[in-house]
Amino acid sequence: MNPTHSRRQFFAGTLATVAGLAVSRSALAGLPEPVIQSSAATAAPLIPNTGRPYNPVVTLNGWTLPWRMKDGVKEFHLVAEPVLREVAPGFKVNMWGYNGQSPGPTIEVVEGDRVRIFVTNQLPEHTTIHWHGQRLPNGMDGVGGLTQPQIPVGKTYVYEFEARRPGTFMYHPHADEMVQMAMGMMGFWVTHPKTRHPQISEVERDFCFLLNAFDVEPGSRTPKVNTMTDFNIWCWNSRAFPAIDSLNVRLNDRVRIRVGNLTMTNHPIHLHGHEFTVTGTDGGPTPPASRWPEVTADVAVGQMRQVEFIADELGDWAFHCHKSHHTMGAMGHSVPTMVGVDHRGLVGKIQQLVPDYMVMGERGMADMGEMEMPLPDNTAPMMTGSGPYGPLEMGGMFSVLKVRADQQPGDYQDPGWFKHPVGTVAREYTGPVAEATRPPSTPTSQPAGNATVLKARKPNPHAGH
Ligand SMILES: [Cu+2]
């Protein structure tokens, strides 16, 4: 903190005391009034109207924090506080976050900007903020106990440094981390290049989001904070499909997507219909000679990846984590695998005890996508969402890249479902089907010793086997 700033705060405090409630405290105080967001919708890009120009990002189901220019310094005000986040329709979770939301707002600055961030702690315990990936003075690194005292409850600390290098970064507490990150405390940070950069492309669309995960017992409202690996709510920016907004782009746009991982496991992020290259990490832009085409980029814990591609295929393209459990909502992991098991005789007996009991899994679990299972209050269904052709059978870390010829530049609104040209959709074949020639039949496999309990039957018995 520089001496000028301390003096200003001193005078501000004096004036506020003298003026009492007659004058807005924020008008006098040395720090900007915090901006609070209550909506989980994707906010329009924040076009900068002070400071140097840049091409803003769009935060999926999030927003960018406005700043105030003061003596050439960009001033932000973050408030660490409990928030109620709508993870999916009908499913709200008590989280901790910043300025009304989890994740906190995205911070966007320009390479070379001097940045001052006030952090007010309205949590029930102390906190700090670490600026992941930044070059900065050691005392601004936000590691409680190591580089600064913890920010006590009710106090405001100020961080100040120059955003030295352009890139994709994030912020999160370095204080009681297990609890505070399990509760949703994190945010995105983008430093835009100050001029054209040889390794940073100009893009038409620039999206960002954080991968995060929670362990919320079905029917409850608060994440379990000591969970190590068994998370059940897989999110992008604290939202689960179908509540994650689609990424809406114009045909032939160059698109950049920036992803950071603050969960406890890796996430192979996969895009359909296009190839992308990894153009940057939280270490900075990758040298162009190091780039090769991919359709899946693994994002390990604590890593960030920015990928780029030309959106040159019209349609609704799935975009998701490739771990199949991560595109599902809450479920008990103790559900037995019932594929191929005939348990018809059991249902009636169980229903005498548990009237809501339903058979699931005998023919796979796809039925669950359309099944109306009675759910406890405040729970996300395991597989949900519907598309133009029926249930999507997805949850968690899943969204859709929508590429349209008539999406206007700068328009990020959802254009609705793709209207496939006639004759371009997979369809039923109605001609004659030849029988496959198979080797002589072998006995159906059965787990040893269970023969008296399990009677397998083929899901779709055909004649001629
Ligand atoms: Cu995943």
pLDDT tens profile 16-58: 333 333 344 544 458 899 999 989 999 999 999 999 999 999 9
Cα–ligand 1 centroid distance for 298 (angstroms): 9
Nearest to 158 by CA among 118, 122, 129, 127: 118
Burial 276-314 (b: 16+ CB within 10 A, else e): bbbbbbbebbbeeeebeebbebbbeeebbbbbbbbbeeb
The confidence band for 230, taking pLDDT boundaries of 50, 70 and 90, is: confident
Cα–ligand 1 centroid distance for 197 (angstroms): 32
Q: Where in the chain is the domain with CATH 2.60.40.420?
A: 34-201
- 317 touches 274 (CB < 8 A): yes
Which of 142-156, 203-217, 378-392, 393-407 comes out lowest in average pLDDT?
Answer: 378-392
Phi and psi, residue 457, nearest 5°: -135, 155
Which of 246-260, 365-379, 403-417, 440-454 comes out lowest in average pLDDT?
Answer: 440-454
Alpha-carbon distances, residue 397 vs 72, 326, 327 (angstroms)? 40, 6, 5
Nearest to 276 by CA among 293, 259, 291: 293
Kind plus residue range of the DSSP H or E element containing 233: strand 233-236
- For residue 228, what pLDDT is reported? 80
Nearest to 214 by CA among 99, 91, 391, 90: 91
Q: What is the pLDDT of residues 67-84, one digit of tens each?
A: 999 999 999 999 999 999
Cα–ligand 1 centroid distance for 326 (angstroms): 5
As a whole number of angstroms, the distance between CA 234 and CA 241 comes to 9
Cα–ligand 1 centroid distance for 123 (angstroms): 29
322 CA to centre of own chain:
14
- List CB-based neighbours of ion ligand 1 within 5 Å: 267, 321, 323, 326
Q: What is the pLDDT of residues 416-465, one digit of tens each?
A: 999 999 999 999 999 999 888 888 876 555 554 444 444 444 444 444 33
Q: Which CATH architecture has domain 34-201?
A: Sandwich (2.60)
Q: What is the pLDDT of residues 138-189, one digit of tens each?
A: 999 999 999 999 999 999 999 999 999 999 999 999 999 899 999 999 999 9
Cα–ligand 1 centroid distance for 323 (angstroms): 5
